[in-house]
A = this chain, B = another copy of it.
């Protein structure tokens, strides 16, 4: 299998905000929504919205815009948000706990089935209704429940070690919230989420404005 290389990442990243607006339109009973309207709402250029939406394959109608229902379906299909997916949380610390409590993922097809930790005090308890198990049992659990997605929220120093176990157990996608780059086989997708890079942007902006 070829290395997963995603084209048009900036466009993909904008999709959720489009989806949000389009769903609002649907809830207002609109049948069509124009790229112009979406752009205005998000303070973007209309041409950028049109280019992005073209990726999903939906055909708009001149003068009216895009058919709302079709567009929602197409964006969700494109993002894979229409299919049910099971995930585990690896590391039930601050961030892991917060993600367990975040209900937004479920609306987009992601079910968090379990969390794993090394802390005896946490093991056996629940956070936000999600069971916390012993991290040593993670391989068995992933195999048994055929989990394909893991959310890495443990201390960075254990990230690679955990990733190796996850991959060996059959995980195909890792959402990496640690600040280390992990090494995985070609056929495993990794999405790195990096708070410190956002904080860096904030810092530079503050520098620039003062």
Query: Once the chains bind, are B79 and A203 in contact (CB under 8 Å)?
Result: yes
How many whole Å from A210's CB to the nearest CB in chain B? 8
Copy total for this chain: 2
In this complex, the interface size class of chain A, counting residues with CB under 8 Å from chain B, is 35 or more
Interface flag for A196 (CB, 8 Å): yes
Contact of A204 among B80, B101, B196, B201 (CB under 8 A): B80
Interface flag for A28 (CB, 8 Å): no
The interface-forming segment of A60-68, A114-122, A137-145, A186-194 is A186-194
Contact of A16 among B200, B207, B208, B210 (CB under 8 A): B200
Task: Name the B residues within 8 Å of A207 (CB-CB).
Answer: 78-80
A6 to B13, CA, bound (A): 19
Contact of A194 among B1, B16, B101, B187 (CB under 8 A): B16
Task: Output the nearest chain B residue to A153 by Cβ-Cβ distance.
Answer: B98
Report if A196-B43 is in contact (Cβ < 8 Å); known contacts: A6-B208, A98-B98, A209-B4: no
Contact of A198 among B42, B93, B149, B191 (CB under 8 A): B191
Interface flag for A112 (CB, 8 Å): no
Query: Once the chains bind, are A179 and B80 in contact (CB under 8 Å)?
Result: no
Query: Once the chains bind, are A78 and B43 in contact (CB under 8 Å)?
Result: no
Interface flag for A15 (CB, 8 Å): yes
Contacts A173-B202, A189-B208 aside, 14 further interface pairs with beta carbons under 8 A come to: A12-B201, A13-B198, A15-B200, A16-B196, A17-B196, A17-B197, A80-B203, A80-B204, A80-B206, A81-B203, A94-B98, A175-B202, A189-B209, A191-B202
